[in-house]
Amino acid sequence: MDNEYHVMGMNMVWWIIWMVLIFAIFFFPTPRTRVYRETPLDILQKKYASGKMATEEYEERKAILQRDKGK
């Protein structure tokens, strides 16, 4: 008879452990790092800053990108 209560008690302990673990996983998620993706405007600004394009070309392409972004 004592052995039966011991088994039932351990079963209850395991249920509590599993419930706490599941609760912790769903309600305290790990922080996720965001992946930064360069936009076409970012790439354009880098090229202009590095001297790979003239101011006129930069302004034209920037205007096109900003116009297309509004659509």
* Better pLDDT: 58 or 6: 58
- What number is the average pLDDT over the span 22-46? 84
8 Å CB contact between 41 and 62: yes
pLDDT at 2: 52
Residue with tokens 């354009």: 44
pLDDT at 37: 87
8 Å CB contact between 62 and 47: no
8 has pLDDT over 70: no
pLDDT at 44: 94
